[in-house]
Amino acid sequence: MRIISGKHKGRKILPPKGLPVRPTTDLCKESLFNILQNHFYLHEVNVLDLFAGTGNMSYEFSSRGAIQVTAIEQDAKCISYIKQTTTLLDLSIIAIKTDVFQFLEKSQVKYDIIFADPPYEMASAHFLGIIEKVFEKNMLNDNGFLIIEHSKYTDLSEHPHLFEQRQYGGTIFSFFENNLLE
pLDDT at 103 over 70: yes
15 — pLDDT class (breaks 50, 70, 90) = confident
pLDDT at 114 over 50: yes
* pLDDT per position as a tens digit, 48-69: 999 999 999 999 999 999 999 9
Quick check: 69 and 92 in contact, CB under 8 A? Answer: yes
User: Which CATH number applies to 26-176?
Assistant: 3.40.50.150
Poorest-pLDDT segment among 16-20, 53-57, 75-79, 89-93 = 16-20
Quick check: 172 and 165 in contact, CB under 8 A? Answer: yes
21 — pLDDT class (breaks 50, 70, 90) = confident
* pLDDT per position as a tens digit, 119-168: 988 888 999 999 999 999 999 999 999 999 999 999 998 899 999 999 99
SS3 6: coil
Amino acid at 173: F
